[in-house]
Chain A
Amino acid sequence: MTYLRAVLLVAEKDLKVELRSREQVVTLLFFALLVLVVFNFAFDFTVIDFVTLGPGVLWVAFIFSGVLAISRSFQIEREQDRIQGILLAPIDRSAFYLGKVAATVLFMAAVETILVPVAVVMFNFRFNSQTALVVLAFILNTIGFAAVGTLFAAMTTSTRRAELLLPLLLFPAAVPVALAAVKTTTHLLAGHPFAAYSHWVLMSAAYDVIFLAAAVLLFDEALEE
C-alpha cells in the first residue's frame, strides 16, 4: 500500500461514514448558520460596512464549526476503539493523520461553500472580489486550521476530557491562521490589490507547511498515551 493510497483510504472512509450518518455536515451547517443569524441580529449591517465586520463573522462561524468537525471526527474513532484498528494496520501513521486532515478540509469546505452565498444574501453584500483568490485564501486557511486541529485532536483523543482539552490547546495555536484568514478576507472583500495582503497569504501558506510537516513527523508520538 502506497502512502498516498493510505491517505485517500482514510479520507474516503470518513466521507463514506459521513454520507451515511450526515451527522457532521448537518451539525456544522446549522451551527454556522446560527452564528450568522446571531451576528445579523446583533449588528445593523445597513449602517456598518460588511467589509469591516463580515470577515470576522464568517471566520468565527468557520472556525467554531471546524472545531466541531475535528472533535466529531475523532469521537467516531474513539467509539468502539476504532482508532486502534487503524493504528494496528501496517501503514505509516502519519497517513492516517493526513487522511483525517483531508476529510476535515472537505467537510469545512462544504460548509464554507454553502455559508458564503448565504452570508452574501443575509448581509446584502455585493460580492465582487476575485473568486479565484477568495477560494485560494479560504482553502489555505482551512487547511491550516484542519492541520493543527487534527494534530491536537489526536493528542487529546485518549484523554478523558478530550472535548475540553481540544479547544484549550487549539485556539491559542490557531491564532496565526485565524488572523491571516480574517485579514486576507477583509482585503479581498474590500477589493484591494494582491500586493496589499500577499504577506497574509504567505503567512497562511507557511503555517500550513510548518504544521503539516511537524504533524507528519510527530504524529506517532502524539498518539502515544
Chain B
Amino acid sequence: MSAAGRDTPPAIEARGLSKRYGPLAAIDGIDLTVPVGQWVVVLGHNGAGKSTLLRMLATLLHPTGGNLRLFGAEAGRSDAAPLRRRIGFLSHQTFLYGHLTARENLEFYARLYGLADPEGAALEAIGAARLSHRQDDRVATYSRGMQQRLAIARALLHRPDLILLDEPFTGLDRESSSRLEDRLRQARGTGCTCVMATHDQGQGLRAADRVLGLSDGRLTLDAPSRGLDPSRLDDLLHGSSPAPPPRAS
C-alpha cells in the first residue's frame, strides 16, 4: 500500500455502533472498518439487522450508541448533509415517482444533489441504464426490471464514493439480475466502496471482497470472500463451524 493509501481514512469506521428500539437491540455494538475501494457483502437471516446497519451507514438512522465515521468525518446529526453527497443508496424499493418520467425523476435527484448539469447527468445515467428509448415515459409504465435499472441509475447519478445496496436483487428476474451485476461491476471499476446486504449468498460472494455475517444485530462472521466455500457459508453464518479469523483492515 502506498503512503497516500495508508493516509487515506477508511470509508467506514464504526466503533460500538448500536441501534436500540426500546429494549430491542437492532444493532448491538458493531465494530467495523471498511477501507476505501473494498466491496463487502452482509449476509444474515430476516431481522438480523442488515437493513438497519445499511440505513445507519447511509445516515438515515442515527445510532443510539457508539461512533460512526465515514471517510474520516463524524457522521453525526449536524455533519451528515455533506457526507450524504458521497453516498449512493439502493434498495429493492426504487425511490422513484411513478407519475414522473425517467428523465424527470433523475433530473429531480440531480438537482437535489446540486449537480452542475442536471439535465446532462440525467440523460447520461438513463443512457447507461439502457433506457433512453423510454426516457419520456412515466416510470409507472416500466417493468420491475426496468424500474430497478433506473433506480441504480438514480443511486449512481452523483457518482458516490460509497454505495450501499440493500437487497438490490429482490424481485428481479435472471436477466435483470445479470444486468444489475454488470452495472455493479462497472461501478466497481471506478474505485468506489460498497456494502451490500443480500440473502443471495452466491451473488454476494461473486460481488464482494469480504463477507460479514450478521445475527441478532451482532457480527458473527468477518472473512475474505476469496476461497470461501458457499456450501460452508451457512455453517459459518450459523455458528456450527468455527469462523475464519476476522480480516485485518
Q: Which residues of A contact B (CB under 8 A)?
A: 1, 5-6, 9, 13, 16-17, 20-21, 76, 79-82, 84-92, 220, 224-225
B84-A81 in contact (CB<8A):
no
Besides A5-B111, A89-B109, 5 more A-B contacts (Cβ < 8 Å) are A13-B100, A84-B95, A87-B60, A90-B84, A225-B61
Q: Give A57 to B89 CA distance when docked, in angstroms.
A: 47
Contact of B112 among A6, A17, A220, A224 (CB under 8 A): A6
A194 → chain B closest CB, angstroms: 42
Question: What B residues does A225 contact at CB under 8 A?
Answer: 21, 61
Q: Is the interface of A mostly helix, strand, loop or mixed?
A: helix
Nearest chain-B residue to A14 (Cβ)?
B97
Chain A proximity mask over B59-92: 1 for CB below 8 Å, otherwise 0: 1111000000000000001000111110101010
Q: Give A87 to B89 CA distance when docked, in angstroms.
A: 11
Nearest chain-A residue to B59 (Cβ)?
A88
B108 on the A face (CB < 8 A)? yes
A85-B109 in contact (CB<8A):
yes
Nearest chain-B residue to A8 (Cβ)?
B111
B26 → chain A closest CB, angstroms: 10
A9-B108 in contact (CB<8A):
yes
Question: What B residues does A220 contact at CB under 8 A?
Answer: 77
Nearest chain-B residue to A2 (Cβ)?
B114
Question: What A residues does B15 contact at CB under 8 A?
Answer: none
B165 on the A face (CB < 8 A)? no
A-B contact pairs, 29 of them (CB 8 A): A1-B111, A1-B112, A5-B111, A9-B108, A9-B111, A13-B100, A16-B99, A17-B99, A20-B99, A80-B93, A80-B94, A80-B98, A81-B91, A82-B96, A84-B60, A84-B89, A84-B93, A85-B95, A85-B96, A85-B109, A86-B112, A87-B60, A88-B58, A88-B60, A89-B109, A89-B113, A90-B81, A90-B83, A91-B112
A20-B95 in contact (CB<8A):
no
Could you tell me how many residues of chain B have their Cβ less than 8 Å away from some Cβ of chain A?
33
A82-B84 in contact (CB<8A):
no
B161 on the A face (CB < 8 A)? no
B97-A13 in contact (CB<8A):
yes
Contact of A90 among B91, B95, B114 (CB under 8 A): B114
A25 → chain B closest CB, angstroms: 14
Contact of B100 among A5, A16, A86, A88 (CB under 8 A): A16
B104 on the A face (CB < 8 A)? yes
Contact of A91 among B59, B62, B81, B87 (CB under 8 A): B81
Nearest chain-B residue to A79 (Cβ)?
B98
Q: Give A46 to B168 CA distance when docked, in angstroms.
A: 64
B103 on the A face (CB < 8 A)? no
Question: What A residues does B199 contact at CB under 8 A?
Answer: none
B120 → chain A closest CB, angstroms: 17
B62-A224 in contact (CB<8A):
yes
A23 → chain B closest CB, angstroms: 9
Most chain A beta-carbon contacts within 10 A, residue among B60, B84, B154? B60
A81-B93 in contact (CB<8A):
yes
A89-B99 in contact (CB<8A):
no
Q: Give A47 to B62 CA distance when docked, in angstroms.
A: 60
